[in-house]
Amino acid sequence: MKTMIPELSSESVWMKDRQRVEEILQSMSKDGSNTLQVISDFDLTLTRFSYNGKRCPTCHNILEGSNAISNEARQTLDDLLHTYYPIEIDISRPVEEKLPLMVEWWTKAHELLVQQRIKKDELAEAVRQSEARLREGYECFFDCLHEHAIPLLIFSAGIGDILEEVIRQANVFHPNVKVISNYMDFDESGILRAFKGELIHIYNKREGALLNTGHFEELRSRPNVLLMGDSLGDLDMADGVQDMKNILKIGFLNDKLKERKQSYMDSYDVVLVGDASLEVPNAVIRFLTGNK
Ligand code: C5P
Ligand code: MG
């Protein structure tokens, strides 16, 4: 088959229907990059899953590993992770069964973080000290979208203040980036007192998307979407997009490859395995912006 994007031929790229992927790309390319918007999850999608055999932290884990919380709280958060993460990634359980458990996880974790009286000015240091890593190729990803004025929505069930700090410290928090996430609410003395707004967890991104109609209304002239996620819950992030024409869904399959291969291939158009870099999304963006 004629290869528009050679990077798609790699062994670590799985596609159920390559022809369909090429058709979507052709149609999006014809419309031009001024009709494109990118919607991406953050944790374990824009950041790595592991490095040198060690798990990389999510936004929550960054705080968990920092001096901003006590040893006892760290242990409790770790116990919560070990209880609930296996449930998050278990494809044998239906979403309806997992949903209340996920709410329970996020709620317990956020309550515990609030009890820790975390200070706003401790966050930057927590991120600096952490092992969080954006995926290889992140400079090109963020810079290229910025250069072509393509809006990037980062839609995360993590912690907005932390993820902003990660991309700020990496010098890629450009003005074309908008974040929807769980934001911390600090009191006048800069101490965490609550989380703002509706909780976003792994399985309610649809509701989160529908609450942000203003954002999607502004982007009405961009009906072509590149969506990137690592969880099946991320597939709902584009539900607020108005008059959608094409969507290309790229999924990072980080963990339990064998068990989850089929469901990821059924849901995502392109599946990237083995803690992939951003090479494939970057190649797609290059193709859509006409940059070779
Ligand atoms: O950015 P994203 O939507 O991926 O953020 C959700 C991630 O945060 C999930 O991968 C989940 O495992 C993780 N999480 C965590 N600790 C919590 C709650 C969620 O590490 N207390
Ligand atoms: Mg994620």
| DSSP strands (E only) in 30-102 | 36-40, 50-51, 54-55
d(CA 215, ligand 1 centre) in Å = 23
Question: If one looks up domain 6-50+133-288 in CATH, what number appears?
Answer: 3.40.50.1000
pLDDT of residue 4: 86
Q: Could you list the active site residues?
A: 41, 43
Burial (CB count within 10 angstroms: exposed 0-12, middle 13-18, buried 19+), residue 245: middle
* Total Cβ atoms within 10 A of residue 217: 10
Ligand number nearest CA of 200 is 1
Please tell me the predicted confidence (pLDDT) of residue 280. 98
Predicted pLDDT at 2 = 54
Intervals of CATH 3.40.50.1000 along the chain: 6-50+133-288
Domain with CATH 1.10.150.340 in the chain: 52-129
Cα 40 to Cα 4, 74, 229, 271, distances in angstroms: 23, 28, 6, 14
The continuous run of DSSP H or E covering 253 comes out as strand 246-253
Q: Give ∠ CA 18-22-27 in degrees, rounded to 5.
A: 150
Rounded to two decimals, the pTM is 0.97
Which residues sit with their C-beta closer than 6 Å to ligand 1?
41-44, 58, 60-61, 81, 85, 88, 105-106, 109, 156-158, 202
Mean pLDDT by 10 residues, the chain (292 residues): 83 96 97 98 97 95 96 97 95 94 98 97 97 97 98 98 98 98 98 97 92 92 97 95 96 95 97 96 97 61
CB atoms under 10 Å from CB of 93, counted, come to: 12
Q: What is the pLDDT of residue 292?
A: 54
User: Spelled out in words, what is the top-level CATH class assigned to the domain 52-129?
Assistant: mainly alpha
* Pairing of β 36-40 and β 152-159: parallel
**What's the pLDDT at 229?**
98
